[in-house]
Amino acid sequence: MGLHILSSGGFLTSLVLSLFMLINVSHAQKQITDSDQDALYFALNLELLSAEHYSYGATGSGVDATAPELARGPTPVGGQKANLDPFFQDIFSQFALIQRGHLRAINRVIQGVERPLLNLSKELAAQVVNNAFRKTLNPPFDPYANSLNYLIWSYVISYFPPPTYVQITPQLKNPIYKSLVAGLLGVASDQETVIRGYLYERRDSLVQPYNVNTSTFIDRISELGNRLGKEGTKIEGLVVSPAQGAEGKIAGNVISADKDSLAYASTLPAILRIVYGTGDEHVPGAFFPDGANGRIARSFLP
């Protein structure tokens, strides 16, 4: 009998310990999942911005018109069809469909996604370009006026996802999220490279009617991004001094990268400072008039 009681006690102790460990593991897993979801939700803001930008530019309508289940929330303001030549109409139509796939993939792992209010207006673009040149351009820059203008404005939009994904990837614990972010990073970087490549090809082309070449436009916009981000030079123009180019040997800079030709990472507050256009992650504006969504972005707001 004594042996039976002792055995029963040992069994109960083991059971309690096992349950305790299971609860702790479940809690830890929940923390990991929450942390990973927060990081991915932050990036989703940028994917939504890209999706709406390319959708409106290529088709004249947003995600609501083609896949409303992928983007609940307020309808973006100011989006319109860009006056694209057939070649770039094809390119950006592809980008719009690619972004729809990104949203669908993210929606599979994050529930309750809501799109923040997005500003896609030509007035915002004009303001950003004025800030970049530190003067008021006349007439105001219109990103929808022609293919080159839209390509320049797409350079701005395409910048945000890659350094965000590079930043959050090492922090992810869940293999599902790691795999998803790796796939998103690869394609987002491809999109940015396509845009930079066509801009590089047109680096000496004048942006009308300003009599300023494309390379100078990209330089000024990149400098503005660095000023707002406050993390040094992480956004580079199409042509740099040879000392700043790959291996310190070349001025052409079709791919922006660090001294080892590795992709730049930007902290999440720095990304907010740039997309808000305020240089302050606590003060929304520009692309996100009411701020970005998700626990990380909202934690900086009053």
> Position of tokens 């930007």?
266
Residue ranges of alpha helices (H) inside 137-174 are: 147-159, 161-168
Structure-token pair, residue 240: 């740099």
* Backbone Cα Rg of the chain: 23
Q: Please report the pLDDT score of residue 71 as a whole number.
A: 83
Q: What is the pLDDT of residue 24?
A: 43
CA distance from start to end of the chain: 66
Q: Which of 85, 61, 215 is nearest to 145 (CA)?
A: 85
Residue type, 127: Q
Element containing residue 300 per DSSP (H, E): none
- What is the reported pLDDT for 16? 41
The pLDDT score that the predictor gives to residue 111 is 81
The burial of 248, by beta-carbon neighbours within 10 Å (0-12 exposed, 13-18 middle, 19 or more buried), is given as exposed
User: Which secondary structure element, helix H or strand E, spans residue 213, and what is its range?
Assistant: strand 212-213
Task: Provide the pLDDT for residue 36.
Answer: 95
**Residue ranges per domain, the chain?**
31-298
Residue type, 44: L
Overall size of the chain counted in residues: 302
The answer to whether the Cα torsion of 228, 258, 192, 70 is positive or negative is negative
Backbone angles phi, psi at 212, to 5 degrees: -125, 135
Q: Which residues contact 262 (CB under 8 A, 6 or more apart)?
A: none
Per residue of the chain (302 residues), what is the pLDDT tens digit? 444 433 444 444 444 444 444 444 344 344 445 799 999 999 999 999 999 999 999 999 999 998 999 988 999 999 999 999 999 999 999 999 999 999 999 999 998 789 999 999 999 999 999 999 999 999 999 999 999 999 999 999 999 999 999 999 999 999 999 999 999 999 999 999 999 999 999 999 999 999 999 999 999 999 999 999 999 999 999 999 999 999 999 999 999 999 999 999 999 999 999 999 999 999 999 999 999 999 999 999 99
pLDDT score recorded for residue 33: 55
Q: What is the DSSP letter of 7?
A: H
Q: Please give the single-letter amino acid code of residue 20.
A: F
Q: Which CATH number fits the domain 31-298, given the four candidates 3.30.479.10, 3.30.830.10, 1.20.1260.10, 3.40.718.10?
A: 1.20.1260.10
> What's the CA gap between 118 and 78, in Å, rounded?
9
Task: Give Cα separations from 300 to 46, 90, 168, 292, 293 (angstroms).
Answer: 17, 39, 18, 10, 11
Contact at 8 Å (CB) between 96 and 104? Answer: no
Residue with tokens 């992650």: 281
Give the pLDDT score at 26: 44
114 alpha-carbon distance from chain centroid: 16
CB distance 106 to 44 below 8 Å: yes
Instruction: For the chain, count helices (H), then strands (E).
Output: 10, 2
CA 268/CA 289 separation, integer angstroms:
17
Preceding omega of 139 cis (within 30 degrees of 0)? yes
- Residue 113 has a pLDDT of 80
